[in-house]
Amino acid sequence: MPPERRPPDDPIEWLNRAKSNLARATADINLPDVYLEDLCFDAQQAAKKPTKALLLSRGITFPFVHDLAELVTVLQRNGQEVPPTIAEAARLTRFAVETRYPSLTEAVTREDYDRAVAIATEVLRWVEQHLLDNR
């Protein structure tokens, strides 16, 4: 059961939504009809939403984009040091649009999927720690 919903301007609500995306990204891996591309979309969302939560917690207006490199740049321009492991989230941007629909893009591999989940998990943990440190 999901946690009680909070207002959209509450960074914790963004984290809760990210946790939901990460749970979906990891829960359906063995279902026969599930594309890894779809699970990677949830991993991308699980990295994007905490990044926006951190921006929101700092009072920084963020663009409503899927581009994680752009969001990380907004953090950095506003004085947030971003470790390379977090900046690596930019790799997930491709899962936001181009792999969600039938296309000429190559299928996502299990290695791609595993890396996407690992990056999303790392971003979520990093943001949670920053939000806890600022309470």
Task: Please tell me the predicted confidence (pLDDT) of residue 22.
Answer: 97
Sketch the domain layout of the chain as residue ranges. Answer: 11-133
The Cα–Cα gap between 72 and 86 comes to 8
Task: Please tell me the predicted confidence (pLDDT) of residue 119.
Answer: 98
Nearest to 88 by CA among 107, 63, 116: 116
Residue 108's alpha-carbon distances to 91, 93, 96, 99, 128, in angstroms, are: 13, 13, 13, 8, 28
Task: Please tell me the predicted confidence (pLDDT) of residue 135.
Answer: 62
Task: Please tell me the predicted confidence (pLDDT) of residue 31.
Answer: 81
The fourth-level CATH superfamily of domain 11-133 is Nucleotidyltransferases  domain 2 (1.20.120.330)
Looking at this protein, which amino acid is placed at residue 8? P
Task: Please tell me the predicted confidence (pLDDT) of residue 25.
Answer: 95
Positions of the chain with pLDDT lower than 70, given as ranges: 104, 134-135
Task: Indicate left, alpha or beta for 31 from its phi (over 0: left) and psi (-120 to 50: alpha).
Answer: beta
